[in-house]
Amino acid sequence: MRHLITTKDFSNSEVIELFQEAKEFLDEKPRDFLKEKSITTIFFENSTRTLSSFESAARRLGARVLRLDVSRSSSSKGETLYDTAANLDAMHPHAIIVRHANSGVPRILSSCVHCPVVNGGDGKHAHPTQALLDLFTIYEHFQGDIENKRILIVGDIKNSRVASSNIELLSRFGIKITLVAPPHFMPNTSLPKSYLLNEELIENADIIMSLRTQVERHEKIVYASLKDYANDFCINPKLIKDKKLILLHPGPVNRNIDISDEVMKDQRALILKQVKNGVAIRMAVLKKLILEN
């Protein structure tokens, strides 16, 4: 049984195949590849984009969606993850999409069910469909010519599952990554890194990926204030001037902390395109995992 727990679960050629399929799905026409299939979503952590993106992807492929309401599920009554999994499995879904605040939960779930499990984000560990949609957005923008493109990943990299999945996936496709963050948000890394976001870095970048400060994952406040962080790392017109580049963000954006209001309106900010591409990528992922398993 194949699952999507981390980006490593798909080879480079499979990723390109997903992109080819996702490109077709961008027309937003409903399809019936997954007619009669049922897909369960179980999100133990808040989500706006990812949950609705997976559910619309499933529906656009003709599948039925069962959303488990976690606030009313038995986990809050002390049921173990194994028992929750066994019960979910007994309903015979064709795929389960799970998000959890703890790293490793999708992997555990995948070992006790009989259908593909898709990781919708687990703790700081991984968010594979986000990285796939980010790379797809880059791939589409540069018309496939992505090798040696240079990206700055800016923000709370240490606590971001989006960053870790992107680092794995983008490096495999020859994209040159520089991590930009204050010391307390910088992971241990062998990648090029900078504690300052300066003009020279931007001058040499093709892509900037800005990330939200993951306040919910900080055990203690390690910086003076988000405003101080914004002074140094907020993407604003003064920093990017008229440099030819694209700007990505997985959302939710903290305006004027991650990205300024002006830059949010800029043509170079592809944030809503990422959201649109996300549905198409998730359609391709669900179709592949359900029909090829």
Q: Per residue in 87-107, is it b (16+ CB within 10 Å) or e — as a string?
A: ebbeeebbbbbbbbeeeebbb
Q: Is 2 annotated as a binding residue?
A: no
Under the criterion CB under 6 A, does residue 123 sit at the interface with ligand NCD?
A: no
Query: Which two structure tokens, joined as six digits, stand for 239?
Result: 């920093």
**Binding marks (x or -) toward ligand NCD, 164..203, rule CB under 6 A?**
----------------------------------------
Q: Which CB, 40 or 159, lies closer to ligand NCD? A: 159
Under the criterion CB under 6 A, does residue 162 sit at the interface with ligand NCD?
A: yes
Under the criterion CB under 6 A, does residue 106 sit at the interface with ligand NCD?
A: no
Under the criterion CB under 6 A, does residue 288 sit at the interface with ligand NCD?
A: no
DSSP 177-205: EEEE--GGGPPS-SS-EESS--HHHHHT-
Question: Which residue in 269, 224, 228 sits closest to 251, CA to CA?
Answer: 269
Query: Which two structure tokens, joined as six digits, stand for 211?
Result: 């990330």
- Of all residues in the shown chain, the one whose CB is closest to ligand NCD is 212
d(CA 14, CA 35): 23
Q: Which CB, 116 or 128, lies closer to ligand NCD? A: 128
d(CA 20, CA 179): 29
Q: How far is CA 49 from the centre of its chain?
A: 10
Question: Which residue in 238, 167, 243 sits closest to 209, CA to CA?
Answer: 167
Residue 60 zone, left/alpha/beta (φ > 0; ψ -120 to 50; rest): alpha
Q: Is 127 annotated as a binding residue?
A: yes
Q: Which CB, 37 or 43, lies closer to ligand NCD? A: 43
d(CA 177, CA 269): 19
CB of 130 to ligand NCD, least distance (A): 5
Q: Is 130 annotated as a binding residue?
A: yes
d(CA 163, CA 197): 17
Q: Is 67 annotated as a binding residue?
A: no
**Binding marks (x or -) toward ligand NCD, 42..71, rule CB under 6 A?**
-------xx---------------------
Q: Which CB, 93 or 128, lies closer to ligand NCD? A: 128
Q: Which CB, 85 or 157, lies closer to ligand NCD? A: 157
Q: Which CB, 93 or 121, lies closer to ligand NCD? A: 121
Under the criterion CB under 6 A, does residue 217 sit at the interface with ligand NCD?
A: no
Specify binding-site residues. Answer: 49-50, 77, 99, 127, 130, 161, 212, 251-252
Specify binding-site residues for L-aspartate. Answer: 77, 161, 212
Please report, as ranges, the residues that interact with ligand NCD according to CB under 6 A: 49-50, 121, 127, 130, 161-162, 212, 250-251
